[in-house]
Amino acid sequence: MLTAPRPPIKTSSSDNGPVSSSPRPALPALPLLQADCANCFALCCVALPFAKSSDFAVNKAAGTPCKNLREDFRCGIHSRLRDQGFQGCTVFDCFGAGQQISQVTFEGRDWRTHPGTRQAMFDAFPVMRQLHELLFYVDAALGLPAAAPLHPALRTLLTRTEALTRADADTLAALDVPALRQEINTLLLKASELARAKSPGRKKNHHGADLMGARLAGADLRGANLRGAYLIAADLGRADLRGADLIGADFRDTNLRDADLRDTLFLTQAQVNAAQGNAGTRIPPTLTRPAHWA
């Protein structure tokens, strides 16, 4: 299971010169970076804890199967998760770590019929999830022509991180993921700065800002830094977010109706799923319009 081939990078000989395409140097075949639940042993429904809140209707301890999990590893209320108080499940994204642990690390041995795998599998899953998330972001940065000066270093980190996804469970559990994340994040921030510099006007810096409930309808946020911003229930209706860095931004119940999110940086499907949008919300073609959007 591999991602689609990466597109060529567009380069130019001068600011106004002709644009040509050249293939990227050979990179490792990445694991699928989106969830394939049919090939996962429902690890997000078992390995992770739930805290009763607006996102989850019940408390659940780590390592305990969700009460809605069936014997075939499928969710018994999948089509009614939001109605049943499990909105958090609809916005979680393992970036494909579930099937990687289930089918590669543990070679198809599930935790029910092979109970000896339980703890090792549940410990390895959160680590793999972080590795897959990092691969997602590095791969996205490699798709930014403006970040071309950083591409060699990004390729090196991509290769190293991809190799770690093939490690055994003990190796995964011992990984210093925060150190790897910091190394990658330094390059992602530089890539973001290069890409956002192409956006017109003065760029707003809301890095890590508390914008919960903020009234930003119609705001010009092109090229803005919204990394890690709290945008819970904020009003971004009709806002222009093209070229904005949205890595880690919290979009729970954010109003994105008629907003323009084309060409945003590092936007994920989970962020889109958490927000409120409509037919007028413009999103990148790589993402899917959520069913709950009006």
pLDDT of the chain along its 294 residues, tens only? 333 333 332 333 333 333 333 445 566 778 889 899 999 999 999 999 999 998 899 999 999 999 999 999 999 999 899 899 998 998 899 999 999 999 999 999 999 999 999 999 999 999 999 999 999 999 999 999 999 999 999 999 999 999 999 999 999 999 999 999 999 999 999 999 999 999 999 999 999 999 999 999 999 999 999 999 999 999 999 999 999 999 999 999 999 999 999 999 999 999 999 999 999 999 999 999 998 997
**Close Cβ partners of 155 (under 8 Å, ≥ 6 residues apart):** 25, 27, 142
For the stretch 234-254, what's the b/e string if a residue is b when 16 or more beta carbons lie within 10 angstroms of its beta carbon?
bbbbbbbbbbbbbbbbbbbbb
What is the sign of the dihedral through the CA atoms of 144, 150, 155 and 161?
negative
Give every CB contact of residue 286 below 8 A, 6+ residues apart in sequence.
none
What's residue 203's pLDDT?
94
83, 29 Cβ separation under 8 angstroms:
no
Residue 87 token pair: 């909105």
Q: What are 285's two structure tokens?
A: 């073609």
Position 48 scores a pLDDT of: 94
